Each structure stands twice: as C-alpha cells, then as structure tokens.
Amino acid sequence: MRFRRVLFAAVSTVVLLIASTTAATAAGRSYRNYVALGDSYTSGPLIPLPRLDPLFCGKSTQNYPSILAAALRVRSYTDISCGGADTTNMTRSQSVFLGSNPPQFSALRANTDLVTVGIGGNDHGVFGTLVGTCPSLRASDPTGNPCQDKFTVGGVDTMKAKVVETGKNVEKVLAGIHARSPRADVLVIGYPRIAPESGYCPKILPFAEGDYAWLNSVEKALNSAIEKAVAADGKASFVDTFGPSAGHDACASNGAAWINGQHTKLLAAAAYHPYRTGMAGVAGVILRHLR
C-alpha cells in the first residue's frame, strides 16, 4: 500500500513538472547548456539508478538536476555534483572511494547558460557534525536540548557561527562561476527542511525533543547565510526550498517525506538525505522559480 502511495506521488509530480515546463518555456528563457554543481543534496545518493562518473559520488540519474534537464529540454547537461563536496571542491578535486571527482568548476564553459549550485552544508563539517553527534546525546536528556547545549560555548552558538563563514565561502563560489560562465543564469539552491516545525518522530529523527527546534534554527541560519551571499553577489538568484518543503520533512507520513531519516535505505535514500520524491519536489520549486 505504501508503495502505491509513493508511486502515485511520483507520477503526480511528473505530471506537475510537465505542466510547469510548458509554462516556463512560454514565459521564460530557453536554456541550451546546463551545468549542475553541488553536494549530496544535489547528487542524490542511493536514489536509483546510480551514475558511474564516479560511482562513489552517489550521483543519481533521478536527482533534481536530471529532472530539471529533462523538463527544460536542454541541449547539453553536465552534472558534476558529488556527495561530501564543500565549497573548496569547486576548484579542488575531491577524493572518493575508488576514484576522484574533478574540480566542479571544470564543467563550466563560456557558453554555459544555466548553472544550479547547492553547496555549503558540508563546510566546517556542520551537517556531518549535527547528524553524527546529536542522536547520541538524546538519551542523556530526551525532552531537553543536549545537542544545542554541547555546541553553545560561552553563550555563542558555534554551529551558527560556522554557518556565517559558510556564507562568505559561497560568495567566492559565485564569483568563480561568473568568471567562467559570464552569460549563465546562476541559481543557488537552498536546503529543504529536515525536521518538522512541530512534533517529534524519534524513531526517524533520533534527536532530543528540544533539539528539533534548534536543528531547524541552524538550517534556517544556513539558508539565510547562503541567501545573503546571493544578495551580496548581485548576479545570481536564490531558490528557497525550506519554505516549500513544509509538510515534507523526514517525519511526514504516507509517502509525503522529501527527506529520509536515520536509517539508510538501499534503492531509496542515504540516511538524512533526499528521496526521489524530494528531488522531484525541489525540481518543481526550481521550475516555478524560472517561470
């Protein structure tokens, strides 16, 4: 039954994307050469089917760049995103198991006319630190906020302080994109919601109850820092996915979740990463932005 609901949701999303594409083509710019840059929230680890360039970047043929490329009917499409990437991997190769991913800027060309970039969550190890540390602290104070307490030092939220620095890194990334692809429309894709605005689902997101609100606040701070970097750049545009993903957090039921919880699911999603439905949802948000 769950499979049928998920299948229905996926089919419905495809229909909506087709409709959005028609409207976007009629009202907006037609793109020919598209390049996608980003980390695992772009690449889509474990979403079938995997690409082999390289395999251990966790790049899916059904991530949002692939859906977007098909919907826009671009002539050329290069997805050089890779799981674990941070802003340094725009200009530096990234080692992965049994291979490496070239510097992501190497995909940019003078004739590139559309660039999407989803990056920043791995800078300073913020994302990995949160999901790697917070669940283990839940038992010490299930209804409190032990993770927030751990990362608050001398009254300073160290996670949010790191996020501010991430915004500065994103500004440099945008300058690098414009220098290499000066005619491209550059879309900076924000991160979708992981935790619900209210309520808890400890079997899926094993954080202390008080840390749910803090996790949301850190993610909002990250998206805000990225959006401010886009505003400072003045040439790119920010695509908010946090707001549109309300009701699609990891706790959402009946196949509505865009994000997986703590358990890795083969042929579905890595832990704490997007499902195929999440990728389709983000693609729809981007298409509406373009329209």
Residues with active-site annotation: 40, 273
Distance CA 3, CA 176 (A): 43
- In degrees and rounded to multiples of 5, residue 93 shows phi and psi of -65, 155
Distance CA 50, CA 63 (A): 10
Distance CA 5, CA 39 (A): 29
Distance CA 113, CA 34 (A): 6
